[in-house]
C-alpha cells in the first residue's frame, strides 16, 4: 500500500522560530514536536501551527483575521479547542542540559502518540551556534573554548538513541569547522560521535566518500535561489540498515547539491524586498502593517506573498542622528560609483562621524549597505542589537532593515508572523534556517523515504 507524503513525521530540536520545520512542513512532513528553550520562539511556533491546523480543518479564513488583528490567537483557540490541544502536543519549551532529559523524552513520545505517528522518520536541528560563531570567538578573549554549549550536541545524540529515526539533519554555522574546546576539534569529534550511535548511522557523503574534509558539508543558500549569502554546515545521517532497502540512500546529500532551482526563486535584495512600501526610521508596525500597496515585481515576491492578506512585522527602527549620517555616507559612496566603503573611508572623509570604539582593526565593515543588485549579507542574530550591517539601499529611506525585510531575505513567507518584542523577532529571524533551503533538504529526504516505505 502506498504511503502518503504527509505520513512522514519529523521532530525539530533547538527549533528556534521553526525555519527548518517550516521547510519540512512545506515539503509534506508532519512535525510532531519542536523543542526550544526560548519563550518567544515557542510563541511563534504556536502561531505557525495555528495556521496549519486551521488549514487542516478548512477554517483557514480565520488566519488572516489573526494577522489583521481582528482576532487574537486566544479568540481562535477558544473557538477551536481541538487546535489548542494539538498545538500543546507539538511545541515543547525546554532547555537541554538544564531540564530533565527523561521528561523531554517523555514529552516527545507523548506528542508522537497524540498525533498517531507510527514512528519518527527524521530528527532535525542544531544546538546554539554562539560557541562556534567566528564573531563570537573574536569578541571572547578565550575564543569560546570554555563554553559548555560546545557539547550540547550530545543531547542531540541522546535523542537519536531514544527515537531512532531513519534520518537526521544537523545544522550549524561555518565556524563549527574550526571550533575547538578542551583540546578537541569539535567537528571531527561530532562526526565520530554521530557515526558511533547505536543503532549505527552513516553520514551521507558529499563529493569524496572517503574524505574527512569538513568543507564538503557547507551549503550556500544563495545557490538555491535564496537572496542571501548564507553558508551553513549541514550533514545528514541515515541508518545503515536502510541500505538494504534503498542502496541509493547514500547519495542523498549529492542529490541536494544537484537540486535545480525553480524559476520563482530570488537572487538579489531587489528580488526580496523591492515591492515593500518605503518607511522612514520609526515608521511601520510590529504586527499588522496593512495590505500590499504595490503589485509583486518578481516571481520571488509573488511566492512570498501567497496566502497572506498583507504585510506583518514591518516596523523600522529609530536611529540616532549620528548613525543616520553614517548610513547616508555609506549609501552615497555606492551611489557615486565607489566600492563599498569602510570605517577607514569614513575616518578620512568625515572623521567627526567615526564611532567611538576600539575595534577598528577587526570591524572595519561595521556599517554595511545591502545593495539592490546583490544577495543580502548573512542575516545573523546580531541584527537584534543594531542594524548597522543591514542598511537599506534606498537613500530616501536611510534606515536599517525591518523584521519583514530580514525575513524575506531568509525566505520566510509573508504570512509567517514572528511573536514578541521587535528585538526578539529579529533574533528569531537571524537564528533561523531559510525555509526554502530546508524544503529542498526535506523533499530529497522524502523521495528516499518513499523508496523505502512504498
**Arithmetic mean of pLDDT, 76-100:** 96
- Rounded mean pLDDT, 66-70: 97
On whether the pTM is more than 0.95, the answer is: no
| Continuous H helices in 318-434 | 321-335, 343-349, 403-410, 422-431
**Mean pLDDT rounded to a whole number for the chain:** 88
Distances (CA, A) of 159 to 170, 247, 433, 443: 13, 26, 21, 23
| Contact between 319 and 400 (Cβ < 8 Å) | yes
Spell out a b/e string for 58-97, using b for 16 or more CB atoms within 10 Å of the CB, else e. eeeebbbebbeeebebeebbeebeebbebbebbbbbbebe
pLDDT at 216 over 90: no
State the residue for C-alpha cell 486566544.
Answer: 74
The answer to whether the CB of 384 falls within 8 A of the CB of 430 is yes
**How far is Cα 407 from Cα 100, in angstroms, rounded to an integer?**
33
Q: Express each pLDDT in 92-136 by its tens digit.
A: 999 998 999 999 999 999 999 999 999 999 999 988 755 444 454
Nearest by Cα to 179 from 189, 169, 170, 168: 189
What pLDDT does 142 receive?
Answer: 44
DSSP reduced 3-state for 311:
strand
Find cell 554549549 and name the residue.
149
The radius of gyration of the chain's CA atoms, rounded to the nearest angstrom, is: 22
* Catalytic pick among 17, 129, 384, 409: 129
Output the pLDDT for position 152. Answer: 84
What mean pLDDT comes out for the span 394-402?
97
Q: Do 5-264+434-453 and 269-431 show the same overall fold?
A: no
> Which one has a higher pLDDT value, 354 or 56?
56
Kindly report, residue by residue over 162-194, the tens digit of the pLDDT: 999 999 999 988 888 777 666 677 888 888 888
Report how far apart the first and last C-alpha atoms of the chain are (Å, whole number): 7
What tens digit of pLDDT does each residue of 411-453 get? Answer: 999 999 999 999 999 999 999 999 999 999 999 999 999 999 9
The reported pLDDT for the residue numbered 150 is 55
What would the pLDDT profile of 318-362 be if each residue is shown by its tens digit? 999 999 999 999 999 888 877 788 888 888 888 888 887 655 556
Q: What is the pLDDT of residue 45?
A: 98
Our answer to whether residue 129 is catalytic in this structure is yes
Distance CA 430, CA 228 (A): 12
Give the count of alpha carbons within 13 A of 131, CB side only. Answer: 20
CATH of 269-431, one of 3.40.50.460, 3.90.120.10, 3.20.20.150, 3.40.50.1380: 3.90.120.10
What is the distance between the alpha carbons of residues 236 and 231, in angstroms, rounded to a whole number? 16
Q: What is the pLDDT of residues 7-49, one digit of tens each?
A: 899 999 999 999 999 999 999 999 999 999 999 999 999 999 9
Residue 30: other Cβ atoms inside 10 A: 19
pLDDT at 3: 42
Helix then strand count (H, E) for the chain reads: 17, 12
* Predicted local distance difference test score (pLDDT) of residue 181: 67
Domain assignments of the chain as residue spans, ordered by start: 5-264+434-453, 269-431
pLDDT at 1 over 60: no
Reported in sequence order, the residue ranges of 240-308 that DSSP labels E, i.e. its strands, are 284-290
| pLDDT band at residue 363 using 50, 70 and 90 as cut-offs | low
Q: Domain 5-264+434-453 belongs to what topology?
A: Rossmann fold (3.40.50)
Q: How far is CA 110 from CA 10, 83, 164, 177, in A?
A: 14, 16, 16, 36
Q: What DSSP element (H or E) covers 36?
A: strand 30-36
Amino acid at each position: 500500500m502506498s504511503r502518503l507524503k504527509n505520513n512522514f513525521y519529523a521532530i525539530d530540536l533547538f527549533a528556534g522560530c521553526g525555519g527548518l520545520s517550516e521547510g519540512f512542513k512545506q515539503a509534506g512532513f508532519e512535525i510532531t514536536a519542536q523543542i526550544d528553550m526560548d519563550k518567544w520562539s515557542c510563541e511563534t511556533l504556536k502561531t505557525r501551527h495555528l495556521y496549519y491546523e486551521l488549514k487542516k480543518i478548512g477554517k483557514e479564513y480565520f488566519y488572516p483575521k489573526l494577522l489583521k488583528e481582528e482576532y487574537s490567537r486566544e479568540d481562535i483557540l477558544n473557538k477551536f479547542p481541538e487546535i489548542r490541544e494539538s498545538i500543546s502536543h507539538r511545541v515543547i519549551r525546554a532547555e537541554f542540559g538544564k531540564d530533565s532529559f527523561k521528561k523531554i523524552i517523555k514529552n516527545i513520545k507523548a506528542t508522537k502518540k497524540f498525533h498517531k505517528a507510527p514512528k519518527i522518520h527524521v530528527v532535525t536541528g542544531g544546538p546554539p551556534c554562539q560557541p562556534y560563531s567566528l564573531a563570537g570567538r573574536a569578541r571572547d578573549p578565550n575564543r569560546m573554548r570554555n563554553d559548555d554549549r560546545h557539547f550540547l550536541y550530545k543531547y542531540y545524540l541522546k535523542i537519536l538513541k531514544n527515537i531512532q529515526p531513519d534520518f537526521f539533519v544537523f545544522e550549524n554555522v561555518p565556524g563549527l569547522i574550526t571550533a575547538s574546546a578542551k583540546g578537541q576539534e569539535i567537528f571531527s569529534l561530532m562526526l565520530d560521535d554521530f557515526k558511533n550511535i547505536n543503532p549505527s548511522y552513516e553520514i551521507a557523503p558529499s563529493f569524496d566518500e572517503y574524505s574527512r574534509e569538513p568543507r564538503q558539508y557547507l551549503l550556500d543558500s544563495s545557490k538555491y535561489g535564496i537572496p542571501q549569502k548564507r553558508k551553513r554546515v549541514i550533514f545528514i545521517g541515515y541508518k545503515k540498515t536502510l541500505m538494504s532497502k534503498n542502496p541509493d540512500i547514500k547519495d542523498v546529500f549529492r542529490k541536494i547539491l544537484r537540486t535545480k532551482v525553480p524559476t520563482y526563486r530570488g537572487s538579489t535584495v531587489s528580488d526580496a524586498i523591492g515591492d515593500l512600501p518605503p518607511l522612514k526610521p520609526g515608521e511601520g508596525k510590529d504586527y499588522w502593517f496593512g495590505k500590499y500597496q504595490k503589485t509583486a515585481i518578481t516571481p520571488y515576491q509573488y511566492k512570498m506573498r501567497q496566502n497572506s492578506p498583507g504585510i506583518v512585522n514591518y516596523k523600522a527602527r529609530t536611529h540616532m542622528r549620528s548613525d543616520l549620517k553614517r548610513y547616508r555616507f555609506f549609501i552615497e559612496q555606492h551611489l557615486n560609483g565607489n566600492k563599498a566603503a569602510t570605517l577607514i573611508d569614513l575616518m578620512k572623509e568625515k572623521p567627526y562621524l567615526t564611532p567611538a570604539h576600539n575595534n577598528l582593526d577587526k570591524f572595519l565593515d561595521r556599517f554595511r549597505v545591502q545593495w539592490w543588485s546583490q544577495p543580502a549579507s548573512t542575516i545573523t542574530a546580531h541584527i537584534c542589537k543594531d542594524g548597522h550591517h543591514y542598511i537599506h539601499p534606498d537613500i530616501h529611506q536611510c534606515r536599517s532593515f525591518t523584521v519583514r525585510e530580514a525575513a524575506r531575505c531568509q525566505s520566510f513567507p509573508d504570512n509567517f508572523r514572528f511573536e514578541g518584542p521587535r528585538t526578539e523577532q529579529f533574533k528569531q529571524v537571524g537564528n533561523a534556517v531559510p525555509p526554502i533551503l530546508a524544503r529542498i533538504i526535506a523533499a530529497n529526504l522524502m523521495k528516499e523515504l518513499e523508496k523505502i516505505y512504498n
